Structures are given as structure tokens and as C-alpha cells.
A and B are shown apart, each in its own frame.
Chain A
Amino acid sequence: MTKVLYEKSRGLTDTPLTYCPGCSHGIIHKLVAESLVELGLLENTITVASVGCSVLAYDFFNCDGIQAAHGRAPAVAVGIKRTNPDKIVFTYQGDGDLASIGTAEIIHAAHRGDNITVIFVNNAIYGMTGGQMAPTTLVGQKTSTSPLGRMENLQGRPLLVSEMLSTIPSATYIERTSVHDVPHIRKAKKAIKKAFQNQAENKGFSLVEVLAACPIGWGQTPVDAAKFVADEMASYYPLGLYKDEGVAK
């Protein structure tokens, strides 16, 4: 007798993913989809996709979805959530989108304590446009717009988004995770699930930063890219819980 050992989460559609081999987006999508299904929230959820590699996320999550302008996903999510407070609304944003062009929108969604969930994928590069430098690119890291490596004296040190957002008084829950190996994927799942559970319990602004690999953008093999996340990124971007003040409002 055959036994089903594993199947694709029904939180994902059958649309083929558009991501490169070794890219972390597929894993993170799976974690989001599983969390929504396990919490019984999927059908009443609205995905707000951003601009970047995950621009088509509204086609991948098996619920209502909308595509926002570059950096504006939190504002779009707030417009949806405030007029439909009983629905679950989340943004799925990369580091170019959230940490560069969309800094005002993410800071003020947190500042108002808007009851939304943010999945922030930090792979230290602009993947979609061909591997340009991001605010999160590590010092010394070569990209197509920092061909000699990011220079601290010219481009500054990378922006620490979770640390910054955790200083905002009305932000509820901020955690930085990674998906470079199985134990960390498990931890990331727990954090993502909590970020959705918080919203369901009306606890306010929740953000999970996920350190992610971009082997194509970095010019590395998937195995080396995962190692780069574990060794280089995680040492500059410390993993862990930055803020947890969940009180139902």
C-alpha cells in the first residue's frame, strides 16, 4: 500500500515558481503557505506582492493577492487591512524593496502598529534586476554596481532592518531567521507562524526577516551560497528575537 509521505502545501498554487536554482524564495514560500494552512487562515488571506524577484508572489500563494508598487507594499497592505480588519494581510518583500525604496512605508506601518504581517527576505542584493548592490549588501561584497566590493567609506555599512524596526515603540514582533539549513528552516517556520498568529490575535505589527541565498546574483554555487549565509551573513546579521511585545489590542 502506498503512503503519502510528503505533498505540496495547498497554500501554494500549481503555478510553476519563477525562481533560480538554489534560491531561498521557494523554501520561504513553502513556510508561509504551510503556516497559513496550519493556522486555518489561508482562504481569508490577502497576499501583497512587491517588486523584485517575488513580484509574482500573488500567483503562487493560493489566496487572494495583489501586486504593489516598488516599496509600497506596507501602504497597500494597510489600506486593505484597515478597511477589512477581519482578514489576514501580509506583505512579502525583498531587501531592495523594503530596505531601500520602501523605508518610509515599512517604518510607518510599524510606527502606527498596523496589524499586518511582513515577510522580509534579505539576500543582500537586487536579484531581479541583475545583481546590483542593496542597502544590505555586505562590506566587500561584489555586485554589478559595486564591482570592487562594497566600500564602507563610500557606501556605508549594511542597514540592520530588524534592529532598527525593533526600536519603534508600536512594533510588536520582530525576529531574524535564516533558511540555510534544516534546523534554521524549522526555526524560521516557527517565527513565520507566530507572525501570522499575532495578526489573527490582533496583536499588531509583526515582521520576520529571513536571511536568504541568491547563488545566481552572488556568482556562487547553491552549496557555497548557503555557506555564505551561515558564515558571512549570519555573523553580520545576528539571528534571533529582537522584539516580542504581543498584547491583544
Chain B
Amino acid sequence: MKTLMKGNEAICAAAIQAGCRAFFGYPITPQNEIPEYMSYHMERAGGTFIQAESEVSAINMVFGAAATGVRAMTSSSSPGMALKQEGISYMVGADLPGLIVNISRSGPGLGGILPSQSDYFQATRGGGNGDYFTPVYAPSGVQEATDLTQIAFNTAEKYRTPVILLADGILGQMMEPVEIKEHPRIEADKSWVVDGRADERSRNTISSLDLSGEGLERLNLKRMERYQEIIKNEIMVERQVEEGDEVVIAAYGLAARIAVNAMEELKAEGINVGLIRPITLWPFPELAFQNLPKSVKHILVAELSMGQMIEDVRRSVAGSHPIHFYGRCGGMVFEPSEITEKVRQIVKGEG
């Protein structure tokens, strides 16, 4: 049964359905409905809720809870995500699973509370110190946000890694009909947990410290092998490209939703436009940009930033097509008409 829910609340309901039993957060707009919802529903689900003293503490509480094998999460928005990077890096170093939700806003600095996609680099390039990646899921609607939340918990446990759900202020705040589906929880190995049972097994320890170069290199390379598995198994992308399409728009999340409206308008004008919408931003769906139909002459990257995903698109296209860019930043959100105008210019050779 579908119910009308805000994106922020639907993410919480999906997390609890997925077995999340610990939430640690801190107030920041535009994600406040997440800690608010959790403060009531997490307790009712028999879990743990703490409004932490800071974003730094919240992610370190996730670190502690996750180390005991509990499904744990935190949420924040851009400036708060910057504070969490220390803990995310430590979670990676200690191979701990967990979900971090970023309902992003505009920056840099305190920036503004309007939606933006300017945290793409931070999310897809590690974000904290050290040599690592985290899987990043980018929903473009409330239903997809709930589905990806559930998938994210399984991915986190399967590969023992923190996972990021990257949405924005509009997706967090808007209401849509949504169904919180029954999502099967994977049976993950939990023999490594630190939960005070040294009387039942040999003692376990968790640390991201290794002072020997050889040892740390070995650990990092082992993690790299898991990254290769993630790349092989977990890439998600929506690809709507057909023979006859002249332009392909590459966009994710909210920007992709707006682009779809523009595509319908352009089709009515006789300009056929395709869409490649990465759902996982890391790993990036590189192959979706290969073997494009012969009719495709241009690629337009549309982002609510000054251009970040465009670097991954450029890498994936590898010079086969000219790449154009349209973006708004600072919290400004483009209208479909801005995209249609940009495409018209591109087709006319003026883009």
C-alpha cells in the first residue's frame, strides 16, 4: 500500500524496515525530519536513538555501534557531511558497514539551505583522508530513495564498507506516494564483531591502525579487491538511449528528473534526446557511455553544480563525443526550459 511521505521520512521508514536499529544524528537543515522521525520510531522499533553533540560524535557513535554488528546509520547535510569525513575514513580503515545519508545543500562553507549537487566530488572521491572509495547511491524520487536505502544496508554489510545515500534538499522535503517494500536482508558474516563475548570465542579487535608499511599496503590492496567486486556487481544506471537520439543528457538525482521533462518537450519539437542516469555515482556506470547509437552526436551533462560528474562522464566517453555542460549552483535549480534551450543551441551548433 502506498502512503504519501516526505523523502526524509520515507528514508527512515525504509531503514527501519531494513533492520537499522541505531541512529545517531545532529540537527541541520534540510534533513531535520530524519532525526525527528527516528527519535520516535527507532525507540518503538526497539533500537537506539541519540541526538549527538556534533556530527563528529554522531559518526563515531555509528562507528561504535557498527563494530558490534548492529545496522547503524547517521544523516546530515553538506557542512555536516564535511565534519563526518574523519569518522567515515576510520570506518573504511576498520572495515565497518553503515549508512550515511546526505540531504545536500549548497556550499561552500555555511552556504545556503537550498538544494544542490555540489558534494559529488566529496562523495565519490573518498571524502576523508586515505586511499578509499565508498559506494554512493543517488535517488531521483522518494520511492527510489526508500529502495536504495534498503539496498545500501545490504551493500554495506556484504562488502564491509560505509555507504552513502546522496540526495538533496528537494528530494528530502518533497512528498510522494511511496511503498516501503519488504526487502530481504542478506546473511552477512559477523564473526569479526566486537561485542564483548570473549568468553564464547577468542577475543576480537577492530582498528584502522597498522604501523608497518607492508601490513597497511596489504590491507589497502585487499580492500581494493573488494572495490573491484563492487564495480563488477553493484553498478546501477538508468539508460534510455535509442537509435535516432541526437543528444544524450547525463544527469543524476533531481537534475535527471528535470531533464526528463525537458526531453518530452524536445521530442514534441522533433529533437530526440536520450538519458543516462547514474544511480550509483561510485562505482560510476562507465560502460553506459559506450556503444552509443550512431545517431548520437552530442552529450550534455546537466548538474546542479559548476560541473563535477562531468569529469566521470568525460572519462567514460573517452573522447568519442563532444561533451557540453549546463549547470546552476548556489541553490538555484534549473527549469526544464533551460535544458531545452541548451539542447536547441547544441543541435544548432551553438552550444
Contacts and interface: CB of A to CB of B under 8 A. Distances in A.
A151 B48 CA distance: 45
A77 interface: yes
A154 to B, nearest CB: 28
A78 B196 contact: no
B8 to A, nearest CB: 22
A83 B203 CA distance: 19
Interface string A87-108: 1110000000000000011011
A239 interface: no
Nearest to B89: A69
B48 to A, nearest CB: 5
Interface in A33-69: 42-46, 48-49, 55-56, 58-59, 62-69
Contacts of A44: 196-199
B204 interface: yes
Nearest to A73: B60
Interface in A97-124: 104-105, 107-108, 111-112
A129 interface: no
Contact of A63 (B56, B57, B203, B209): B203
Contacts of A58: 205-207
Nearest to B47: A83
B53 A105 contact: yes
A84 interface: yes
A66 B67 contact: yes
Nearest to B96: A66
B195 A72 contact: no
A82 B65 contact: yes
Nearest to A72: B60
Contacts of B195: 46, 64, 80, 84, 87
Contacts of B66: 79
Contacts of B38: none
A46 B56 contact: no
B86 interface: yes
B53 A108 contact: yes
Contacts of B198: 42-45, 62-64
Nearest to B200: A43
B196 A88 contact: yes
B73 to A, nearest CB: 12
Given A46-B195, A75-B52, A76-B63, A66 B207 contact: yes
Nearest to A79: B64
A108 B57 contact: yes
Contacts of A68: 60, 63-64, 90
Contacts of B63: 68-69, 72, 75-76, 79
A44 B204 CA distance: 12
B14 interface: no
B86 A45 contact: no
Contact of A80 (B56, B58, B67, B208): B67
B160 interface: no
A208 B56 CA distance: 25
Given A55-B209, A63-B196, A66-B207, A83 B53 contact: no
Nearest to B209: A67
B60 A79 contact: yes
A64 B60 contact: no
Contacts of A88: 196
A75 B53 CA distance: 9
Contacts of A108: 52-53, 57
B203 to A, nearest CB: 5
B21 interface: yes
Contacts of B60: 68-69, 72, 75-76, 79, 105
Nearest to A43: B199
B301 to A, nearest CB: 36
B61 A64 contact: no
11 contacts: A42-B198, A43-B199, A45-B198, A64-B197, A75-B61, A76-B63, A79-B60, A79-B62, A79-B67, A80-B64, A80-B194
Interface of B: 21-22, 24, 48, 50, 52-54, 56-58, 60-68, 70, 72, 86-87, 90, 94, 194-199, 203-209
Given A43-B198, A64-B195, 20 more contacts: A45-B196, A46-B68, A55-B209, A62-B198, A64-B205, A65-B194, A65-B205, A65-B206, A66-B194, A66-B206, A68-B60, A68-B64, A72-B87, A75-B63, A79-B22, A82-B22, A82-B65, A83-B64, A83-B70, A108-B53
Top 6 closest pairs, chain A to chain B, by CB: A79-B64, A43-B199, A87-B196, A79-B61, A75-B60, A67-B207
